[in-house]
Amino acid sequence: MILQEKVKETVSTDYGLVSIIMPNYNGAKYLKDTIDSVIAQTYSNWELLFVDDCSKDESMEIIRSYKDSRIRLLQNETNSGAAVSRNHALKEARGKWIAFLDSDDLWKKDKLLLHLQFLIENQISFSFTSYSVLNSDNDVVAEFTPKKDTYDYNTILKHCYIGCSTVIYDSEKFGKVYMPTDAIKREDFACWLKILKMGETATCFHENLTTYRVHNNSVSSNKFKIIKYQWNVYRNIERLSLLKSFFLMFHWAVKGFFKYK
């Protein structure tokens, strides 16, 4: 009830332009629902940078059906992956705030307003939220609610509590933080580490404002698929020792097992 009252009081407040980064490859199945969740936001000062990565489905027809001037269509010349797509959008972003939303995830209508309000009132520059997990049948199968308020570099190394589609950071403070293209399938994790190495902490806004979709064939749906990608971040991106990398892999595996309640 308190949050709803805040929305009514501050709905006309302008906290600055939010650049929403949305990569897409063959995401037509869920794309309309995702874009509609952006358009439905109670905070209106945003731009959606939609980057199509050479989709072969109806994605382009769907995005072109929207006539909202805040939606900006970008296209990769060749299929290049999510990291390149997000970086393409980041180069074109004009907002003070950088937010991420994958083309199959969903935001609740007050996501931007409440999250920005939280950032401004608490003088925070890098934040994420709790989220729900949705399967391919649109059933909520889990809730992810971090226990702590803040997370530093060493904590996130052990386990990444940050859902990409929940993040907002202040580009005026950090600049545009590009995702490492050699952090295969873990580019968002490596990006958060870059920000945290600047001496910042990631602050959790303990409100469930995002719905994250997990597919049966996605990397995140099977922890065994992601082991080599996690290892790559430790050894080749962060250049950690062999011993420390094994130590962190153990923590990552244990935390991953107990991630959802």
pLDDT surpasses 50 at 212: yes
**pLDDT at residue 238 is higher than 70:** yes
Q: Quick one: tokens of 223? A: 């922890």
Q: Report d(CA 141, CA 133) in Å as an integer.
A: 6
Distance (Å, whole) CA 212 – CA 34? 11
Q: How many other β-carbons are positioned within 10 Å of the β-carbon of residue 3?
A: 12
> Domains of the chain, with CATH numbers?
2-218 (3.90.550.10)
d(CA 197, CA 186): 17
61: CB partners within 8 A, 6+ apart: none
Would you state the structure tokens that stand for residue 4, as one six-digit string? Answer: 């709803």
Q: Which of 5-9, 27-31, 205-209, 215-219 has the lowest mean pLDDT?
A: 5-9
Could you tell me where the DSSP H helices lie in the chain? 2-10, 28-39, 59-64, 82-92, 111-121, 153-158, 171-174, 187-196, 223-232, 242-257
Relative to beta strand 106-107, strand 97-100 is: unpaired
pLDDT band at 19 (very low <50, low <70, confident <90, very high): very high
- pLDDT value at residue 223: 63
Confidence at 2, pLDDT banded by 50, 70, 90: very low
Q: What is the DSSP letter of 152?
A: -
CB atoms within 10 A of CB 236: 14
**What pLDDT, on a 0 to 100 scale, did the predictor assign at position 255?**
74
**pLDDT tens across 39-66, in order?**
999 999 999 999 999 999 999 999 999 9
What is the tens place of the pLDDT at every residue in 146-162? 999 999 999 999 999 99
If DSSP states are collapsed to H, E and C, what string results for 242-256? HHHHHHHHHHHHHHH
Q: What are 116's two structure tokens?
A: 């920005």
Beta strand pairing status for 71-75 and 140-144?
unpaired
Query: In 3D, which of 160, 187, 151 has the Cα closest to residue 251?
Result: 160
Helices (H), 65-211: 82-92, 111-121, 153-158, 171-174, 187-196
Mean pLDDT taken over the chain: 91
What's the CA gap between 79 and 77, in Å, rounded?
Answer: 7
Q: What is the pLDDT of residue 5?
A: 43
pTM of the model: 0.91
